[in-house]
Amino acid sequence: MDDTTPVRANPGYAADRLARALATAATHGDPAVRQAAERRAASWRRVLDGMARGLLSIGSRTPVRGMPAWVTPVVSHGGFATGEAAAGGPLRPQERALIDRHGLKADRAALYAHHLTEAGLAHLSALLDSGAYEIDEPEQAALLTVTWLLRAGDTAGALRVLGELDPFAATLCLTPRPAPARNLPEGSVFRWSVEDVRHSLADVTAKGAHRVTVQGEALTVWNPFADRLLTHWLETTAEAGGPGAEDAGAGATEVDVRRPDGWTERGAALLDEYERLAVEHTLCTKHRRPNENLAILLAALREALTEGGLGARRRGLLRHAVVSMTAKRGVPGSPGHAALRADQAAQAARPAHDVLAALLGERLTPLPGNSGVPDTEAVLVPTSPEEARSFTVPEGASIPGPLRARVERAVIAPLDALVERGIVPSAEVLASLVPALAAEAEASAIGDPTLSRLVAAHHRAFAARRSLLLLNLESQVRRSELPWVRESTPHHDSAGTRRTAARTLITRLGDTVLTRFPGTITPNPLVSELNGLARTAGLEFGFVEELASDIFMGTFSPKFTRVARVAAEVLGDDLYTRYYGIDRTRVLALEERPGRGRPTFADLCRERAGNPPGTVAGNGMVIEQAQILTTHNLAALTLLGSRPADGWAEAALRAHLTTVRLVGALPRVRDALAHVKNAAFAWRQTVFLLSRCPLAEQREVLDRMEESSAGRPHHVRERLEPALRGLRAAVEGRSLPDHDEEEVVRFLGWTARRHWMLRIAPQALLPHPYRL
């Protein structure tokens, strides 16, 4: 196969996913999990059927035959399109409501025609003015945009949009979902919506109700019965430790050495009582497990009454059960035992989480479901007298921490405040909040509030569009390709204002990433948002994604060359350049689209990786060199003015702690190689951040890194010492060897051989093979 032959996706991946989904659907114990697996299986069947029939071209940016790029496809795991349109499917509630209100035929073609009537346009115009809508799929902004264009006098633009919509009018939902208008303070976001929190609390209520019922049965039925049964056996002990005995005397030395008068009859009555309780109370099942103490006491009693005595094995089990029960809880009736049961009863009397979850759900009912919570403290106050009566809880009861955390995830606040409070714990979660901020930046230059709200809502919906698996260097669909976006963009007031707002947001996001998550590479969802902002800002360069080594085609898009040149200019001949042995002259001489015979960015990466084989591991080595040369976006963010809030040195130390944490976990993880790879990525972040410091500060930080490692377990020190020596050599101006040595090592994550960090590990910790 030559370089011009397009690469196609292998259906084997989809077949494997189908098999996994079917296995889960057939065997999992949770009905909800089985149902979800059945839905996944149906989706993968559609993928395989579409590929087999030639209806799907997986790897293309237009994977569904007859569906243009602007139609949002339903995408399964791994970026495989299923052949369905996300805005298609059954009629949505808002569509059915309009059909019923106007007596229309129950199909989308009739709805589409209605929306273009005077009454339909008036309805859409009212939605535009109120802002009381939510866009779930980008296509749902189409007819609102047509309405706005008509109001703005751009009839030609509206007709061009309609011309592209017409062929899909009968299949796609092209109107938004009614919802309360969002009125967020400028620059504020929220992680969870009120609706998200209510669903979460409802789940607690459903699961908690069952759990509390089980707990109640245990406290009121089985614990008292176990106490009576234990007391019955204590009557037979040599020390005769019965009810009222002191806890210190509860350690029975032997059981079944004497049987008081009436013991056999009372024992038979206890067995009859057990049979009745087991039929009437079925939530608790612990008493049915043979190794549980209660089951041992019951089995011994049956044997004692039916066979007249106990065998040696049964007697030993019985004695162990009696001793352990009395040692743990005391003799039934003793002060210690009575106090324990009283404490358990008090705990059971406290408001259960499921009840308080239902109470919180009720408090959230008045708030708009599509927005966050402006004041979480007002929602989390102790229970009022009215709530105490309605929910049968004590007045003034406080909301427990786990439930508070669910509500607090919906707080509306500036991004930095959410990060500070731990509501945004990772760069991946940060990426999920960027669309709202990017939408605000996108809409900032639009003077017309109706168009501004529409653009912001559409931006959020488009950001949620799942990425496709793309081959042959194809690119994901951009917002500007959507017909309604293309026609409305010329009506934006000031491109300069939009560019400034987008660039400011990029810098702000970079500050957050460098300050809060310095040891984590920029995740792809965040890269996607940054690239959208970069286009709006009019930057000459973008940001690069982390590529998957199992589908890497051996080439890079031109933007990798652009970002690598930016990095070479930012870095200069500094610590990072020296540590990784970068020839800046060669990088700066690279061309985005070189002529035949001229070296490419991919050629340079392969050369630096040692020209590895075209395996998954070899691909990973090449991709890692691309990440090194581009600094995986750190240099680009730095060039735009992003800085860690507390300085480069502290950020470098925090990034180093990420490396230490990942290396420290190696003895406890199954896939050690993945941990080593991520540790090397965090190490690269550390080297870049450290390279921003003056030489004296570099030495000081490196001293602190070495001190930190010295205080770690031996296996951590043993693995990090060669890497620290390598970094020390680079700080002192020495070059590093191109191959692994025991004393001085350039810490890289990918290798076609066994990784040096794992060669020094015990045999049990050797890595698993690379997985496709």
- Between 595 and 350, residue with greater pLDDT: 595
**Last-in-domain residue among 349, 368, 397:** 349
Looking at the fold, whether 298 and 215 belong to one and the same domain comes out as yes
- Do 708 and 656 touch, CB atoms closer than 8 A? yes
| Mean of the per-residue pLDDT values of the chain | 87
Looking at the fold, whether 295 and 341 belong to one and the same domain comes out as yes
Looking at the fold, whether 121 and 223 belong to one and the same domain comes out as no
- Do 653 and 647 touch, CB atoms closer than 8 A? no
Give whole-number Cα distances, 210 to 33, 131, 198, 276, 732, in Å: 18, 41, 19, 22, 64
* Residue 407 belongs to a domain: yes
Q: Which domain holds residue 746?
A: 648-765
* Residue 770 belongs to a domain: no
Looking at the fold, whether 312 and 217 belong to one and the same domain comes out as yes
* Residue 423 belongs to a domain: no
* Residue 569 belongs to a domain: no
Q: At what angle do helices 108-115 and 93-102 cross, to 10 degrees?
A: 70
Looking at the fold, whether 272 and 365 belong to one and the same domain comes out as no
**Last-in-domain residue among 62, 85, 108:** 85
* Residue 119 belongs to a domain: yes
Q: How far is Cα 351 from Cα 359, in angstroms, rounded to an integer?
A: 11
Looking at the fold, whether 338 and 242 belong to one and the same domain comes out as yes
Spacing of C-alpha 66 from chain mean position: 34
Phi, psi values for residue 178, rounded to 5°: -60, 135
Taking alpha carbons only, the member of 298, 294, 297, 282 closest to residue 217 is: 282
* Residue 709 belongs to a domain: yes
Taking alpha carbons only, the member of 455, 566, 605, 575 closest to residue 138 is: 455
Looking at the fold, whether 130 and 240 belong to one and the same domain comes out as no
Q: How far is Cα 760 from Cα 722, in angstroms, rounded to an integer?
A: 11
The pLDDT assigned to 768 comes to: 36
Q: Is the pTM of this model over 0.75?
A: no
Q: Break the chain down into helix, strand, coil percent, rounded to 5.
A: 60, 5, 35
Instruction: Please state the domain count of the chain.
Output: 5
* Residue 17 belongs to a domain: yes
Task: Give 245-276 pLDDT, tens digit per residue.
Answer: 444 344 446 888 888 999 999 999 999 999 99
Looking at the fold, whether 273 and 332 belong to one and the same domain comes out as yes
Looking at the fold, whether 345 and 213 belong to one and the same domain comes out as yes
Q: What is the 3-state secondary structure (H, E, C) of 35-63?
A: HHHHHHHHHHHHHHHHHHCCCECCECCCC
The pLDDT assigned to 241 comes to: 46
Residue 211 has pLDDT above 60, yes or no: no
Looking at the fold, whether 198 and 219 belong to one and the same domain comes out as no
Task: Give 300-352 pLDDT, tens digit per residue.
Answer: 999 888 887 788 888 889 999 999 999 888 899 888 888 888 877 766 655 56
**Last-in-domain residue among 417, 444, 465:** 417
Looking at the fold, whether 265 and 334 belong to one and the same domain comes out as yes
Spacing of C-alpha 373 from chain mean position: 21
* Pairing outcome for strands 188-189 and 413-414: antiparallel
* Pairing outcome for strands 177-178 and 188-189: unpaired
SS3 470: strand
Q: How far is Cα 587 from Cα 584, in angstroms, rounded to an integer?
A: 5
Q: How far is Cα 309 from Cα 315, in angstroms, rounded to an integer?
A: 9
Looking at the fold, whether 78 and 115 belong to one and the same domain comes out as no
The pLDDT assigned to 347 comes to: 63
- Do 521 and 547 touch, CB atoms closer than 8 A? no
- Between 740 and 370, residue with greater pLDDT: 370
Task: Give 335-346 pLDDT, tens digit per residue.
Answer: 888 888 887 776
Q: Please, which residues have CB within 8 angstroms of residue 161's CB and are 6 or more apart in sequence?
A: 142, 145, 146, 149, 483, 484, 487
Q: Give percent of the chain above pLDDT 70.
A: 92
Q: How far is Cα 707 from Cα 717, in angstroms, rounded to an integer?
A: 10
The pLDDT assigned to 245 comes to: 40
* Residue 315 belongs to a domain: yes
AA letter at 35: Q
